[in-house]
Structure 1
Amino acid sequence: MTVPQPPAPLPGARLLFSLDPAVSQLNHGAFGTVPLPVQRAQQRLRDEMEANPHRFFSRGLVERLGHARRHLAGFLGADPEGSALVGNTTTGVAVVLQSLRLRPGDEVLITDHCYGAVALSVHRECQRTGASSRVLPVPLSATDEEIVESFRAGLRPGRTRLLVVDQLTSATARLFPVAAIVGVAREQGVPVLVDAAHVPGMLPVTVESIGADFWVGNLHKWGFAPRGTALLAVRPPWRERIEPLTVSWEQESGFPARVEWQATLDYTGWLAAPVGVYTLRNLGVERVREHNAALAAYGQRVVGDALGVAPTHLPDPGGPAVAMRLIPLPPGMATTVETAKALRDRIADRLATELAVMAWGGRGWLRLCGQVYNSAEEYERLAVRLPPLLAQR
């Protein structure tokens, strides 16, 4: 089988970023990268804040935050009045968990694809309240129909107080049929929290149509927002039950202001976040999505071939629209979180390449991303240099 051709670069896109040209950044999904126009917009806001902090914080900031939220919610198809800006997806998850007021005998159900920090948050809240957590295994090769049925069988009505499910998983780049899963859970009376950390900007989404009780996604990954920008959307029956992690002066204002207002945070990232959406739209949202997904698929094939992985063994659990791809590592390599991090750092130090190394399902995986600042040559260079490095183990 021939290797697919890489997509043509988007003219001028690389110049929008202040990345070190000596390093290949193939892990956009981890921390995102803030375009220069967004950096400058945030710096202007910081200058305004430092010129007169009292005026910045005490006159109209709540309204400005509401304006930014409405812009971002509109981009994601969420109800602006039923959404709140939060620092990241894990913060949104923590807000929901502590608002549920779990009790002994309650259960939170997650999957084995769950993001590590989210799983730790669930575990901590269950320990604190006397509830329990349970992990539902979902095979990487499962079809959408099989996934939905596994959730149908795995829920325990009357005991399962919350189902936490990824829309697009971090560890495995698996796209879950969340709308269908939400439908099954609603039949059984189980609320659903959708972790959509990687969705905003990468995939088209209409949050309202998913119907989840809680949905939270980062805009600082694929939405070009400053880091620390996420949106938590909450269905109407739950809104007045949502409590912030820290009580501040907007507590009596209700949701979403009581969650957004956290005293003297640096709100400039949230205020500048709409410029990230504007930058994405200027490039062409669909054009960026198609480019990134095609580039990630090309990188997966080139690097996979270099590692001797047959094309039929290169997983594609997210489908053609996902800009993150997995490559299985040789058996026995990077099978734990610790050894995966060590390999990631060795690749970064010796090959000047930042990528994700994941330990999942008893084996190690490389996760490659595609973004408009990447080039086909970066994956080709990695394909040449990575096999000798792995052979040194």
Structure 2
Amino acid sequence: MPAPVFPAPLTLNSGLRARDAWPLDPEVIHLNHGSFGAVPSAVVAQQDALRRRADLSPVEWFPRIAERVQAARERTAPFVGARPEDSAFVPNASAAATVVYNALRLSAGDEILVTDQGYGAITMGAQRLARRFGASVRAVELPLLASDDEVVQRFADALTPSTRLIVVDQITSPTARMLPTRRIAELAAERGVRTLVDGAHAPGLVADAAAVAGGDWWFGNLHKWPCAPRGSALLVTTAPDRDDLWPLIDSWAANEPYPERFDTQGTIDATTYLATPASIDFIETEFGWAHTRHAMAQMADAGAEIIAEGLRPYGDEDPLTPLPSPVPSMRLVRLPLGLGSTREEADALRMDLLDATGVETAFTSFRGIGYFRLSAHLYSEASDFEAFVDRCIPQILRRAGIRTADAIVVS
């Protein structure tokens, strides 16, 4: 098998090495952009300047915050293919889901469909909604390698006369694949069922993510792949009952319609929203979003292959897990049997290896199997993945109790 071919370290249009544009700790290897993102230094400076302005004159700042947030919304919404008047800033994807759940009214015996690849916090919100009304939540089981056609068919088979809502991921968090949400939403609409699309990972990875998603409501994080400050996400809807949506904090804009009522939230730090356009523009100006997606895919493919190559001698199955609908920036590599078999174990392994090796990682679990979910962004380089092989694979083998050529390693 030929050796993986990594792209050369990227240089931005400004002449800056991409890695140097992010204020990341050089003593740490960063292979988990997908969980919490990373903010470029230029955007950090922009947000710091906004915060400084607020601190210098709070009485000037807060009464005018709505017009500032609206201006940021007008610049940000087109990035996901949405109209500003259909879009509201929210702190994160889970907040957007909560806003929608709070607006819904169900009856006893009604049903919500989720998937077994859904994000746990969003599913827990759906379960809380169901409990309020005596409804139920049922997970549609989607095989890891199911084709888009099979995914749609499984939803078609799962719908019943009691189904009122589908909650489905545009990009799955534990398995890093895209789902055909528009087809699912169209199928649901034919049966009188509404669809909430969880696009937490979609902005930046999917061009015009909200526009292509379908569904009654869509939301996506801007602090992940677009690299905005943490605490910035969009909720988008054209639903006729969108005036039933309310922000999580009642404030002085409560009498305004959607989305204006979301522009004022008391004294929250809205600089996360205001600096978001700068992060989107930074990547577009310095590298271009289409090129960014291509570069992330190249790096992720090479990174997954070199890590899988390091694990292949120690398992019966190929650890490389090619998915039917991959995303540009994330790949799955299967862990040795017994590691990360639950979400809790996978999360614990993430922190354990960070402490032991200085490598930031993401481990996920699906149907009792643990995976390394690698992430790549513009600042990623071949040396990051080589460091994972050198530092993390021996630790992984030790924790799995696997005999290596050099020694017997036990947990």
TM-score, normalised by the number of residues in structure 1: 0.96
What is the CA distance between 1:244 and its match in structure 2?
Answer: 2.4
What is residue 301 of structure 1 aligned with on the other side? 305
What is residue 314 of structure 1 aligned with on the other side? 320
What is residue 61 of structure 2 aligned with on the other side? 56
**Superposed, which structure 2 residues align to 1:357-376 within 5 Å?**
357-376=363-382
| Matches of 2:202 and 2:98, distance apart in 1 | 19
Once structures 1 and 2 are overlaid, which stretch shifts more, 239-248 or 162-171?
239-248
What is the CA distance between 1:320 and its match in structure 2?
Answer: 5.3
**Is the contact between residue 172 and residue 326 of structure 1 (CA under 8 Å) also seen in structure 2?**
yes
What is residue 241 of structure 1 aligned with on the other side? 244
| Matches of 1:167 and 1:248, distance apart in 2 | 32
Letter in 1 for 2:88: A
What is residue 4 of structure 1 aligned with on the other side? 4
Alignment of 1:387 onto 2:387: no
| Matches of 2:369 and 2:60, distance apart in 1 | 54
**Is the contact between residue 82 and residue 239 of structure 1 (CA under 8 Å) also seen in structure 2?**
no
Alignment of 1:340 onto 2:346: yes
**Is the contact between residue 178 and residue 327 of structure 2 (CA under 8 Å) also seen in structure 1?**
no
**Is the contact between residue 103 and residue 244 of structure 2 (CA under 8 Å) also seen in structure 1?**
yes
| Matches of 1:170 and 1:241, distance apart in 2 | 28
3-state DSSP class of the match of 1:18?
Answer: coil
| Matches of 1:319 and 1:236, distance apart in 2 | 28
What is residue 141 of structure 1 aligned with on the other side? 145
| Matches of 1:121 and 1:101, distance apart in 2 | 14
| Matches of 1:302 and 1:203, distance apart in 2 | 26
Once structures 1 and 2 are overlaid, which stretch shifts more, 305-314 or 293-302?
305-314
What is residue 91 of structure 1 aligned with on the other side? 95
| Matches of 1:243 and 1:200, distance apart in 2 | 23
3-state DSSP class of the match of 1:63?
Answer: helix
**Is the contact between residue 217 and residue 239 of structure 2 (CA under 8 Å) also seen in structure 1?**
no
Identity of aligned residues (%): 40
Alignment of 1:182 onto 2:188: no
Segments of 5+ residues of structure 1 without an aligned counterpart are: none
What is residue 40 of structure 2 aligned with on the other side? 35
| Matches of 1:249 and 1:24, distance apart in 2 | 45
Alignment of 1:13 onto 2:18: yes
**Is the contact between residue 175 and residue 317 of structure 1 (CA under 8 Å) also seen in structure 2?**
no
What is residue 403 of structure 2 aligned with on the other side? none
What is the CA distance between 1:186 and its match in structure 2?
Answer: 1.1
Letter in 2 for 1:108: I
What is the CA distance between 1:310 and its match in structure 2?
Answer: 8.2
| Matches of 1:42 and 1:313, distance apart in 2 | 41
What is the CA distance between 1:245 and its match in structure 2?
Answer: 2.4
Alignment of 1:110 onto 2:126: no
| Matches of 1:279 and 1:347, distance apart in 2 | 32
What is the CA distance between 1:206 and its match in structure 2?
Answer: 4.6
**Superposed, which structure 2 residues align to 1:324-335 within 5 Å?**
324-335=330-341
The one of 250, 261, 279 equivalent to 2:282 is: 279
**Superposed, which structure 2 residues align to 1:133-172 within 5 Å?**
133-157=137-161, 159-172=162-175
What is the CA distance between 1:312 and its match in structure 2?
Answer: 5.7
Once structures 1 and 2 are overlaid, which stretch shifts more, 207-216 or 293-302?
207-216
**Is the contact between residue 65 and residue 263 of structure 2 (CA under 8 Å) also seen in structure 1?**
no
| Matches of 2:9 and 2:391, distance apart in 1 | 23
What is the CA distance between 1:261 and its match in structure 2?
Answer: 2.2
**Is the contact between residue 324 and residue 369 of structure 1 (CA under 8 Å) also seen in structure 2?**
yes
Alignment of 1:77 onto 2:112: no
Once structures 1 and 2 are overlaid, which stretch shifts more, 196-205 or 225-234?
196-205
**Is the contact between residue 216 and residue 237 of structure 2 (CA under 8 Å) also seen in structure 1?**
yes
What is residue 65 of structure 1 aligned with on the other side? 69
CA RMSD in angstroms, aligned pairs only: 1.6
**Is the contact between residue 254 and residue 261 of structure 2 (CA under 8 Å) also seen in structure 1?**
yes
| Number of residue pairs the alignment of both structures matches | 391
